[in-house]
Amino acid sequence: MSLQDLLAVLPAGSPEEALARQVNFDRLPEHVAVIMDGNGRWAAQRHLPRVEGHRAGIESVRDVVEGSARVGIKVLTLYAFSVENWKRPAMEVSTLMALLKRYLRLELNTLLRNNIRFRVIGRPEDLAPDIQRELADAEEKTAANTGMLFNIALNYGGRAEIVEAAKRLLAAGVRPDELDEQRFSGFLYTAGQPDPDLLIRTSGEMRVSNFLLWQIAYAEIWVTETLWPDFRKRHLLEAILAYQKRERRYGGIKQPAVAGR
Ligand code: FPP
């Protein structure tokens, strides 16, 4: 994917187009992770029930998945439902699940057309059987795609992921002298994937919220006041441009974003 692929879906002369033209396609973040926040506040501002914010958030998901694939992001991870989100009212939880199911039904062809591979990270085994089937179906049908990897974090918790990884490595009989950071990473849900270079959080909150705790060790964090239902390609491009202006140090000395990893 490239500038031309991106320009094909941006209105000519739009602010998005101007932003797209500033992107350095040789220095893209490989993995972008997003904490989609602010759906409830978006709905409250409009005197609507909270679930309407989630419904509107689906359009942002569509726009950002398409935008990321066209920019040439290799891995996009969206935080859709945390292990803590079960504490929300049952109606909100069931609406979120129904929205997810609908999204998969409606968007599977778009994912296939755009060569996007879909994967779930988290504990889908605790979700309702019909949702599990839908997720497994989307994973299976997109498994051979070679373009962007789209991870959806569902029933996900960063600490739970680390504990599960520890259990699995003990069960695999890994001895302490064989264990290092790289080996440990291989037991996480994201085994084999690059760590996020850029973590985006919407709605202005300055929290990590138990998301990819191990993997974001060196991620650049970009927080926007924009609420998730208002988030579009334009904001993704702003985040990428901000990322490209950062110096990444990995605890060492100055180095430009991305290059020299
Ligand atoms: C946070 O907003 C958002 C969520 C807990 C859910 C995000 C889910 C979606 C956008 C829809 C389903 C996703 C996919 C990928 C199909 P909040 O409710 O915490 O907002 P608030 O902080 O303003 O209350």
> Which pLDDT score, from 0 to 100, does residue 261 have?
45
pLDDT at 255 over 70: no
> Does 253 have pLDDT greater than 50?
yes
Average pLDDT value for residue range 143-171: 98
Q: Is the pLDDT at 249 greater than 80, yes or no?
A: no
Domain boundaries, the chain: 3-157+195-256
List the one residue out of 233, 192, 248 whose CA is nearest residue 59: 233
For residue range 30-74, list pLDDT tens digits in order: 999 999 999 999 999 999 999 999 999 999 999 999 999 999 999
Give the contacts of 113 (CB within 8 A, at least 6 positions apart). Answer: none
Atom of ligand 1 nearest to the CA of 57: 10
What's the whole-number mean pLDDT along residues 200-206? 97
Q: Which residues are catalytic?
A: 37, 85
Per-position b or e across 209-232, b if 16+ CB within 10 A of its CB: ebbbbbbbeebbbbbbebbbbbbb
**Nearest residue (CA) to ligand 1, atom 13:** 80
pLDDT computed for residue 241 by the predictor: 98
C-beta 54 within 6 A of ligand 1: yes
- Asked if 36 and 153 touch (Cβ cutoff 8 Å), the reply is no
DSSP letter at 88 equals: S
Of 161, 200, 151, give the one whose Cα is nearest residue 37. 200
Residue 31: beta bridge partners?
75
State which ligand 1 atom lies nearest to the alpha carbon of 78: 15
81-100 average pLDDT score: 96
259 pLDDT higher than 60: no
Q: Whole-prediction pTM value?
A: 0.95
**41 closest CA partner among 182, 223, 230:** 230
Give the DSSP per-residue string, 170-226: HHTT--GGG--HHHHHTTSTTTTSPPPSEEEE-TT----TTSSTTTTTTPEEEE-SS
Instruction: Give the tens place of pLDDT for each residue, 8-38.
Output: 999 999 999 999 999 999 999 999 999 999 9
Domain 3-157+195-256 part of CATH 3.30.565.10: no
